[in-house]
Every structure is written in C-alpha cells, then in structure tokens.
C-alpha cells in the first residue's frame, strides 16, 4: 500500500515505540495503517533505545516534539522517572506503556489493562462488569487488567496465583478500586467452577516456545465459561485449545495488543482508532 502513503511534509507528526530489542515490534505497522486510513499527517517508527540511553531518548522526544510514544521492554518502569506526570493507570501498575504530550508536558499512561478490558467488551461480553471473573496470575499484566476490571465496576473478581502472597499484595494495593478475593492456584483453582463466568490467564504460561504449558487443569473448565488468554504467540494457546474442546467461547491476547494501541492512538490523535483494520494488519504478520 506504499502508493497510499501520504507525503511527509514540515507539519508531519512523528510517533514512535522505544524498546530494546525493538525489531520484532508490530506497533509501527499497526499504527501506520491506522494513521493512513484516517489521513492523519503522521508517521510511526521504532527506535532502538538501550537502557543507558533512555534518559537521553526522553530528552530527545521532548526536544524534537515527537507527538506520542509507546514504551516497551525493558523501559516501562524506569521511564517513569523522566516524565512530567504519571496518570493513575500507570501509577497503579508501576509501569508506563504510552507517553502523551500535552501542553508541552510528557504524561505517562498505561493502556495495557484498559486495552484488554475494551477488547473483552467489544469482542466477547459487553456487560463485563456483571460477570464473575477468575484472573490467573499476579504480575504486572494481572495488575493492569485487575485495575481496569475494577474501574469497569466489576462485581466479583477472584485472583488465583501460584504465590498467594503476591496475589494478596496486589489485592491490597487495588483495594481503593474495589474488592478482590484471593485463592491459591493449585492443580486447579480452589473455587466452584459453577460460580465463574470468565477465566483470564495473565501469566506467560503457554507462550512460545513452551506451547504445551497450561496454567490450570483443563478438566476444571466448563462449557458456560468464556476463557481468555493474554498470550497471542501462539494465537491459540494450550489453554485456549482445551477451552474450545470443552465448548467454551475463547478470546486470545491479540485484542489486548490491538486495543492498548488503539487507546494510545486515540489519546494522541483525538480520533477513533480503526481497531478492526489494526487487528487485520497485525494478523497478517503473525
Ligand atoms: P508480567 O509482568 O508479564 O505479568 P511477572 O511479573 O513475572 O510477569 O508475573 C508472572 C506471573 O506468572 C506471576 O503471577 C507468576 O506466578 P508467581 O507470582 O507465583 O511467580 C506467574 N507464573 C509464571 N510462571 C508460572 C508457572 N509456571 N505456573 C504458574 N504461574 C506462573
């Protein structure tokens, strides 16, 4: 689609993702297709920024007037020190994935959990707040998703984690936003499967290359459940495959990636992101 690319000129806004490594990032393709389709005079690139250049890179973003930046591994935590303001979404998670420039100030957000929940709502279940949710894991991804679910008004949120203390710490930190019940993750969660509507895996269990790994005993799943995995490499994890065999509706982590980008795009441009187009572009490259 090179023929459709808008000519760059002296008003073109530059957007970018920074990380180390960065060559595998799907964000440039995904954002450029969105910018082009809405005829925004902007272009999105990737910068390889090693850790010892991070502070300089943020100064460069400021100096050059770069319009918006995504931040990925390993900079999501450390970048917070170099920004002017940190939004609640990033404060709670302790990590920034999106920088927005507003009135000359650089503001750090985290759109991962919010993106996940938007994907779940748009693709699977509009009234997600009425669902009884079991979330597996208590790491950074779990934190963002639990925060977003509680912000959504979720009534029943249970976290199962291998290390119970870690889940309890997460529940304590998020208690201002709503209640979380904590259970151990043994072979299967120690709760009645009848009482669970959505199961969400937020751990990396099942991610390439250990694709046979599964975070819970699949015999515990029941057909009435929606089973969601934040992993999207592979697109169908062992958990998702087991859930499909059980008769569950399933949801992969691709939506989280697409919508974390869509929310960033909307904050930067003020335009509604073409999420379906963005998804197709990422799918094309998987
Ligand atoms: P991230 O920031 O990507 O969420 P993380 O902070 O390292 O990553 O968190 C990893 C999560 O996956 C944790 O909930 C971890 O469980 P523990 O808190 O008990 O360590 C979970 N996890 C990782 N490997 C696991 C495994 N083999 N079985 C069960 N849980 C696992």
Average pLDDT over residues 65-83: 98
What's the ipTM? 0.96
CA 156, CA 199: separation in Å to the nearest integer? 12
Q: What is the pLDDT of residue 189?
A: 77
CA 189, CA 183: separation in Å to the nearest integer? 7
Distances (CA, A) of 24 to 20, 48, 58, 155, 225: 10, 11, 21, 38, 33
Measured over the CA atoms of residue 251, residue 254, residue 257 and residue 261, the dihedral's sign is negative
Omega before 74 within 30 of 0, i.e. cis:
yes
| Per-residue pLDDT reduced to its tens digit, 17-48 | 999 999 999 999 999 999 999 999 999 999 99
Delimiting residues of CATH 3.40.50.10860 domain(s) in the chain: 2-110+256-285
Please determine, for residue 3, whether its predicted confidence score (pLDDT) is greater than 60.
no
Read off the tokens for 263: 């929310």
Neighbours of 7 (CB within 10 A): 6
Quote the Cα angle for 234-282-6, to 5°: 165
Task: Write down the pTM of the prediction.
Answer: 0.95
Catalytic residue check, 76: yes
| Per-residue pLDDT reduced to its tens digit, 133-157 | 999 999 999 999 999 999 999 989 9
Distance from residue 111's CA to the centre of ligand 1 (Å)? 20
What's the burial of 73, exposed, middle or buried (CB within 10 Å: 0-12/13-18/19+)? Answer: exposed
Delimiting residues of CATH 3.40.50.720 domain(s) in the chain: 113-252
Residue to mutate (ligand 1; options 147, 203, 217, 256; most atoms within 8 A of CB): 203
Phi-psi region of 117 (alpha: psi -120 to 50; beta: other; left: phi over 0): alpha
SS3 101: strand
DSSP string, 1-60: -GGGPPPP-TTPEEEEEEESS-TT--HHHHHHHHHHHTT-SEEEEEEE--GGGHHHHHHH
Q: What is the pLDDT of residue 5?
A: 67
Q: Is 97 annotated as a binding residue?
A: yes
Q: Residues 221, 193: contact at Cβ < 8 Å?
A: yes
Q: Which CATH class is domain 2-110+256-285?
A: alpha beta
Phi-psi region of 272 (alpha: psi -120 to 50; beta: other; left: phi over 0): beta
Window from 9-13, 39-43, 190-194, 267-271 with minimum mean pLDDT: 190-194
**Active-site hit among 59, 76, 105, 151:** 76
Measured over the CA atoms of residue 36, residue 41, residue 42 and residue 43, the dihedral's sign is positive
Q: What is the mean pLDDT of the chain?
A: 96
| Per-residue pLDDT reduced to its tens digit, 185-224 | 987 777 899 999 999 999 999 999 999 999 999 999 999 9
Q: Which CATH class is domain 113-252?
A: alpha beta
Please determine, for residue 4, whether its predicted confidence score (pLDDT) is greater than 90.
no
The more confident residue out of 95 and 6 is 95
Residue to mutate (ligand 1; options 75, 90, 116, 137; most atoms within 8 A of CB): 137
Q: What is the pLDDT of residue 175?
A: 96
Q: Is 242 annotated as a binding residue?
A: no
């Amino acid at each position: 689609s090179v023929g459709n690319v808008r000519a760059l000129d002296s008003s073109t806004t530059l957007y970018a993702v920074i990380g180390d490594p960065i060559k595998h990032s799907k964000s440039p393709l995904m954002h450029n297709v969105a910018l082009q389709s809405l005829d925004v005079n902007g272009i999105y690139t990737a910068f390889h920024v090693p850790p010892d250049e991070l502070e300089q890179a943020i100064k460069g973003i400021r100096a050059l007037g770069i319009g918006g930046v995504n931040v990925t591994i390993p900079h999501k935590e450390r970048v917070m020190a170099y920004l002017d303001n940190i939004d609640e979404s990033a404060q709670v998670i302790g990590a920034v994935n999106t920088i927005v420039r507003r009135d000359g100030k650089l503001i750090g957000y985290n759109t991962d959990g919010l993106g996940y929940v938007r994907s779940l709502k748009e693709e699977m279940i509009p009234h997600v707040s009425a669902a009884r949710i079991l979330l597996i894991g208590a790491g950074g991804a779990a934190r963002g998703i639990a925060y977003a679910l509680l912000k959504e008004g979720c009534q029943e949120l249970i976290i199962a984690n291998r290390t119970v203390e870690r889940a309890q710490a997460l529940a304590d930190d998020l208690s201002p936003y709503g209640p979380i019940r904590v259970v151990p993750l043994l072979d299967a969660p120690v709760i009645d499967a009848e009482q669970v509507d959505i199961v969400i895996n937020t751990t990396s269990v099942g991610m390439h290359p250990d694709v046979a790994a599964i975070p819970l005993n699949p015999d515990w799943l029941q057909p009435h459940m929606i089973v969601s995995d934040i992993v999207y490499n592979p697109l169908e994890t062992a958990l998702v495959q087991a859930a499909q065999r059980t008769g569950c509706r399933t949801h992969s982590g691709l939506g989280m990636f697409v919508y974390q980008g869509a929310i960033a795009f909307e904050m930067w441009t003020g335009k509604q992101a073409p999420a379906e187009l963005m998804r197709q572009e990422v799918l094309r490259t998987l």
